[in-house]
Amino acid sequence: MARAPFPHKKPVPRRPEPDTEKVAGLPAVRALFQHDPGRAERLFYDERFKAEAGEFCKIMAGAHKPYRLVPTEELTRIYGSPLHGGIIAVTRPKPLAAFDPAEAQQWAKTGAPLLVLDGVGNPHNLGAIARTMAFFGLERVLLSDHPGQALPSEAALRVSEGGLEWVQVIRAQKFVASLKRLRDSHRIVGTALGSGKSVADVLGRPGKPVALILGNEEEGLPPATLAACDEVVTLPGSGRIQSLNVAATAAILIHELAKPRR
C-alpha cells in the first residue's frame, strides 16, 4: 500500500470540518487510490464504472472497508449534487501543513519553485490551479491566512481532477511575516497588472528558487504582500481585456516556472 504523502508535516486547523469529505469523479478517485488509499473510508460507484472500480474495491476489501455499486440517483443523494462523475470515495480529510521556514530551506535545495496564493477565494480556481500544478510537476502550494482564501474542499477536489492528491497544501499564519522568513530561501515574486517586470526575465533568472504569489481577481495582491516581494511581474496582453482569470494566469506562469533552468 502506498505511503501517505508528507507524513511528518505538522497539521494546522484548516476550518471547522466534518470527519469526512467526498472525492468525486474517476480521475480524482484514481489519484486518491494511487497516492493515499488509506484515507478512503467508503466507496460508491454506478454501473458505468463497475470495471474501473474493481482495483479500488480490492484495496477497500483488503482494508475491511465498505464499497458498493449503487444507482446513479443514489450517488447524487450521497454527493448532494449530480456532479459526482459516477464514482465517489468518502475519505478522511487531508490535513494542511503549517509553514515552517526550516523546511522551506530544504525545499530550496532542490531548486523547485513554490506557488503562493493570497486571497484566491473561489474553490474552483484553487482546484484548477492544483490540476495545472500536478500536470507540470509542481509539488507545493502555500496558502495565506487571508480571510477570503479558499481552502481544499469537495468542490476544489472535484475540479482538481486528482491534482490536490499530488500537491502538498501548506498554510501560513501571519502571512507577511512568513514571507519575510521565506526570503531566506526563496526569491519572492509577486504578480500585478500593468507595472511589473517581464515574466521571462524575472522567472528565468538563476539564483534562489522563486516563490510566486498570485492574488484574487478583484483586488490583486494586498499592499503589505506587494511590499514584502523582491520583484513584481506582469503578464502583457493586448489591452482588450484587463486581466485573465486567476487560474488561467496561474497556468501560464506555472508553465514558465516548470521550464528547465540552466
Q: Which domains does the chain have, with CATH numbers?
A: 18-91 (3.30.1330.30), 96-257 (3.40.1280.10)
Q: What is the structure's pLDDT at 241?
A: 77
Cα angle value 177/180/181 (rounded, 5°) = 90
Residue with cell string 462523475: 85
Question: What contacts 33, CB < 8 A, 6 or more positions away?
Answer: 40, 55, 56, 59, 89
Q: What is the structure's pLDDT at 44?
A: 98
Mean pLDDT by 10 residues, the chain (262 residues): 41 53 96 96 97 97 98 96 96 93 94 95 96 96 96 94 96 95 95 81 85 90 94 85 88 89 55
- C-alpha 246/C-alpha 132 separation (Å) is 12
Helix (H) / strand (E) containing 232: strand 231-234
- Which amino acid, residue 244? L
Q: What is the structure's pLDDT at 148?
A: 93
- C-alpha 147/C-alpha 134 separation (Å) is 26
The DSSP call for residue 240 is S
Q: What is the structure's pLDDT at 261?
A: 60
- C-alpha 166/C-alpha 117 separation (Å) is 17
Say if CB 185 and CB 107 are below 8 A apart: yes
Closest CA to 168 of 135, 130, 208: 130
Q: What is the structure's pLDDT at 17?
A: 43
What pTM does this model have?
Answer: 0.87
Q: What are the helix (H) ranges across the chain?
A: 26-35, 54-62, 72-79, 101-109, 123-136, 154-160, 163-166, 175-182, 199-203, 223-227, 246-257
Q: What are phi and psi of 223, to 5 degrees?
A: -55, -40
Its sign, for the CA torsion 237, 241, 243, 248, is negative
- Which amino acid, residue 34? Q
Q: What is the structure's pLDDT at 217?
A: 80
